Amino acid sequence: MSWDILITNIKGLAQVRESTPGVIKGGAMADLPIIEQAFLAIKDGKIADYGQMKNLPSSSATRTINAEDRFVLPSFVDSHTHLVFAASREEEFVMKINGASYAEIAAKGGGILNSANKLQQMSEDELFERTRKRADEIIRWGTGAVEIKSGYGLTVKDELKMLRVARKIGKETPLKVKTTFLGAHAIPKSHTKEDYVKLVLEEMIPAVAEEKLADYIDVFCEEGFFSKEETIRIAEEGKKFGMRPRIHANQLKRSGGVQAGVEVGAISVDHLENIGEEEIEALRGSDTIPTALPGAAYFLNLSFPPARDLMSAGLPLAIASDYNPGSSPTGNMQMMVSMACIKMKMTPEEAFNAATINTAAAMEVLDTHGSITRGKTASVLITKQVPSIAYLPYAFGTQWIEQVIINGQVL
Ligand code: NIG
Ligand code: FE
């Protein structure tokens, strides 16, 4: 056997799956399979083999890494981000500290419209350079695959610009990228809502599809933004052009977003800070993956999604970062897992399942990402010397990753 990289003496090789399971639901989320005293072999950018050290075949490797006292996990999969944006919005952060709400800031032309103004004035090259820095940052924090949305363009030309930048991130960085058209993110001052919805339906969707720029379509279903009915109309139109829906649902109010998502067969409904029995009932029996975005709930001081109720109902749960300048200015998935444990009372095992396999299912990259499985892309994390898996979310805010391997390349 001759390998490119051999990682030996691993204290625990976590999230090992002989064959890839589908999305993990309910009680099954409590199980995070770990091989103790393990090795992991990488060849041609793929996971070639793994097992217990005592079964290590006689072999040679170009590079050997001793992972004594360290855990190895698959890279995070972040299924909800707004990675492409022009600039940060810390001025609004200070307004919020002084008492303004997210909805009030948005109504004053802050929020998404503020980001759109800045983005419209920026060249595609500059936007790409800024986004690439963020991409490099999330790679160091352990993300191997990421979904990226548009939605700060709000004109045909600028939505296309954002999506081209997102696609280019997938080509020019080691990240696996899926893209989402979120033209229906806010209503620009230049349009009535009716006119803007028409623009999304009749011009933006066909233009995005023409250049094959988006894998998915998203709508911000929320009071003051897009109604349940508008969400359904836009999502259905996207489907006609081959974009499967994923929906921003129930962040600020019980807007009907979850029900809209289920009705259109969305792959995921994301946010869910404001849900109850009705929404959980709607999700039961559907294939729509509920996704929590703990960074946004934390940053906006919202109540967190009822993770235990969702899992007790036998549903899956995914966790993503929502990295964006207005409501979650970090794409650090280590922090998301910590917040899921601390604020949503998920166990570390549940949280890691939510941030790897379930997000991989939510962005349809399970064949290559989300678990340690032979043949999958070799995107894995080696931790620092730590006592246990539970230590990782416990030590919130610390960089517990020592080494990142992405697509078989050691960073
Ligand atoms: O997911 N909720 C809508 N979109 C983003 C926030 C966008 C912004 O404030 O810039 C979110 O939280
Ligand atoms: Fe979002």
Measured from the Cα of 296, ligand 1's closest atom is 12
Same domain, 40 and 98: no
Q: What is the mean pLDDT of residues 50-67?
A: 96
- pTM for the whole thing? 0.98
- 45 shares its domain with 135: no
User: Phi-psi bin for 348: left (phi > 0), alpha (psi -120 to 50), beta?
Assistant: alpha
- Average pLDDT value for residue range 183-202: 97
DSSP state string for 27-52 = GGGG---EEEEEEEEEETTEEEEEEE
Mean pLDDT of 50-64: 96
The residue type found at 55 is N
Residue of 269, 322, 323, 336 with the most ligand 1 atoms within 8 Å of its CB, for mutation = 322
Question: Tokens 């029995």 belong to which residue?
Answer: 277
Residue 107 has pLDDT above 90, yes or no: no
Residues 11 and 106 in one domain: no
Co-location of 95 and 11 in the same domain: no
Q: What CA–CA distance (Å, rounded) separates 349 from 15?
A: 9
Q: What does the alpha-carbon distance between residue 261 and residue 249 come to, in Å, rounded to a whole number?
A: 8
- Same-domain status, 90 and 148: yes
Secondary structure (DSSP) of 293-312:
-HHHHHHTTPPPP-HHHHHH
Domain count, the chain: 2
User: 251 and 324: one domain?
Assistant: yes
Ligand 2 centroid, distance to 157 Cα (angstroms): 21
Kindly tell me if the per-residue pLDDT of 12 is higher than 90: yes
Structural domain of 137: 77-362
Taking 90 as the threshold, does the pLDDT of residue 61 lie above it? yes
CATH of the domain at 59: 2.30.40.10
pLDDT at 102: 80
Whether pLDDT at 331 is above 90: yes
Same domain? For 306 and 164 the reply is yes
Residue 92 has pLDDT above 90, yes or no: yes
User: How deeply is 95 buried, as exposed, middle or buried, from its count of CB atoms within 10 A (0-12, 13-18, 19+)?
Assistant: middle
How much is the mean pLDDT over the chain?
97
Tell me which residues have their CB closer than 6 angstroms to ligand 1. 111-112, 115, 220, 248, 251, 296, 322, 324-327
Cβ neighbour number for residue 303 with a 10 Å cutoff: 9
Whether the predicted pLDDT of 30 surpasses 90: yes
Residues at Cβ < 5 Å from ligand 2 ion: 322
Q: Are residues 147 and 293 in the same domain?
A: yes
Q: Which of 338, 362, 386 is the last residue of a domain?
A: 362
Residue 392 near residue 337, CB atoms below 8 Å: yes
Task: Give the ligand whose atoms come closest to the C-alpha of residue 326.
Answer: 1
